[in-house]
Amino acid sequence: MTELPDRRLLLVHAHPDDESINNGATMARYAAEGAYVTLVTCTLGERGEVIPPELRHLTGPALGAHRRGELAAAVGALGVTDARLLGGAGRYGDSGMMGIPDNDDPGCFWQADVDTAAGALAEVILEVRPQVVVTYDDHGGYGHPDHIQAHRVAMRAVDLAAERGHLVAKVYWNRVPRSVAEAAFARLQDELAALPFDKGATVADVPGVVDDERITTTIDGGPGAAAAKAAAMRAHATQIEVAEPYFALSNELAQPLFTTEYYELVRGTGEPGETDLFAGLGTGAAS
């Protein structure tokens, strides 16, 4: 592999579209700054609910193949050139929402052996050698089995890579500060009548909302990154309807499109009020 840039960021997500919703502005910012950004997606989202009526015939593997194309378009909009599927395309299937029979499918990600899946991810870490890894918290942000499993696999892979000689300097979990979410939903209520959505979601519908004091890092990529995030979300047309600065999933409930993104540093040493995931690492990143 050719020599990589000094700054290297790896993100682990469960399904196509998670990367754009959670980290689109972050990915776009760092890609534009010349950092090497790697996205690892664990499933193709074959059990996702499709929004456009003309695409609702897509189910199972056909939907997964279509969503793989959406993912390629989304990462292109973000300027990311290294996007991978954990274990290869179709290795791990979408598990569906928690508590349904699909969770018991032996081919789904929820049923995957964590060490085996983490071993595959550790190989990517050892190849790319990121200083920073981003994933979900131990609840997967909102309790989806694939998000929980992605957390387990990512954290275990970081450990396995360390055992084999590469220490990831910083691990972050996706977050949204409660005050920011509450203010955004208050604005949504004032603006809902002008949107193409009949109802609004609530703060409880947003993954990863925590009390403000848990936020360690704020990433604002500016107008360029914000526009790239919205474009990437639009690329996931089966799953997302965008009406900036809001969007809706298949539940048709409007929620804010956050163009500033927030994180909790859970491994490594950070700086108070960080505005850079690479802060303190001596990689030449701007603070």
Residue ranges at the known binding site for Zn(2+): 15, 18, 147
Q: Which residues are annotated as a binding site?
A: 15, 18, 147
Q: Residue 16 and residue 176: Cα distance in Å, rounded?
A: 20
Q: Residue 106 and residue 92: Cα distance in Å, rounded?
A: 9
Percentage helix, strand, coil for the chain under 3-state DSSP, each rounded to 5: 40, 20, 40
Q: How far is CA 33 from the centre of its chain?
A: 19
Q: Residue 183 and residue 181: Cα distance in Å, rounded?
A: 6
Q: Which of 168, 147, 278 is nearest to 219 (CA)?
A: 278
Q: Exposure string (b/e) for 1-37, b if CB count within 10 Å is 16 or more?
A: eeeeeebbbbbbbbbbbbbbbbbbbbbbbbbbbebbb
Q: Residue 203 and residue 181: Cα distance in Å, rounded?
A: 6
